[in-house]
Chain A
Amino acid sequence: MKVFNLYIFDKYGALMYYAEWNRTKKSGLTREEEAKLTYGMVSSIKSFVRIMSPHDPKEGFLYYKTNKYALHYLETPSGLKFILNTDVNAANVKELLQQIYSKIWVEYVVRDPLWSPGTPVTSELFQNKLDELVKQSPIFGIRNI
């Protein structure tokens, strides 16, 4: 199993943070263009899911899978959006996203007095803690047989 990359957007669609681990193919776009495309697609899917659902959706859009990768989506009540790409076999990615939010984002970004809300994250401490969490998670460690 593998973790490819992570986007964090704020509620206005600004890219707060980007990280990648096992990404082998680049899009050929700049970071900003790629982020805009990702954000646009995800927000379209989000509204599509809401409109097309045959019953009242509780959580709305959670993830989609292709035959090569899966895109997992977590939106917080405050409008922060966490988008994590993994391979298709990854399990419990939702828990990992929750942990990235509550244990890393809240602790090392929200509580960092040198971060001003609405600006991209540059804190090294946050980067290290995030890297640590993702690398320790079973989704990252176990190899495909």
Chain B
Amino acid sequence: MTEEIVFDCLHAEIVNYCLDDSNKENDFSTLEYIGFTTGYRLIERLTRDIPRFKDELETIKFICTDFWTSIYKKQVDNLRTNNQGMYVVQDKAFRFLTRISSGPKQLQQAPKFVAFTCGLVRGALSNLGINSTVTAEVQTIPACRFHIEVSRN
């Protein structure tokens, strides 16, 4: 409980700091980069007792279960893929959105609170050898959908 509120408050302040009023273009890149480095480092700590993953799907599954649980205290609610490198991860009660009302005004603010997590997932995957692009969409608060697109080259 106490460690959760520290993370929640810190996250809210990081969002405020990166996206204050002077930032007109809504540039999420700083926020996303903070998430990326956090995820990149975090994955070393989380996988130290885990054997190597068989394939890409298994890696993504790890993100949806263990990784999500250790950060957000719950698993994702749904994982879908087209088997061509597109994954859709759905969280029906996303941690950073559960304390926000579900009005249209709040919905406009929602992208601010998911950018960090996009970076977090991208950083984690990157350190596991998967280059990807991670985007998020919020249609109704507090549900959130993350799209992971694996880049192959």
Residue A20 at the B interface, CB < 8 A? no
Total interface residues on B, using CB and 8 Å?
A: 16
A123 vs B105: C-alpha distance when bound (angstroms): 11
Residue of A nearest to B97 (CB): A113
Residue B101 at the A interface, CB < 8 A? yes
Residues of B within 8 A of A125 (CB): 99-102
Residues of B within 8 A of A124 (CB): 101-103
**Chain B, interface SS category:** helix
Q: Interface stretch among A42-50, A72-80, A81-89, A104-112? A: A104-112
Residue of B nearest to A106 (CB): B5
Q: A residues engaging B (CB < 8 A)?
A: 107-108, 111-114, 123-126
Interface-central residue, B5, B9, B100, B113, by most chain A CB under 10 Å: B100
Question: What mask results when residues 63 to 96 of chain B are scored 1 for a CB within 8 Å of chain A, else 0?
Answer: 0000000000000000000000000000000001
Chain A to chain B contacts (Cβ below 8 Å), 25 pairs: A107-B99, A108-B99, A111-B5, A111-B8, A111-B9, A111-B99, A112-B99, A112-B100, A112-B101, A113-B8, A113-B11, A113-B12, A113-B15, A113-B16, A113-B96, A113-B99, A113-B100, A113-B113, A114-B100, A114-B106, A114-B109, A123-B100, A123-B101, A125-B102, A126-B101
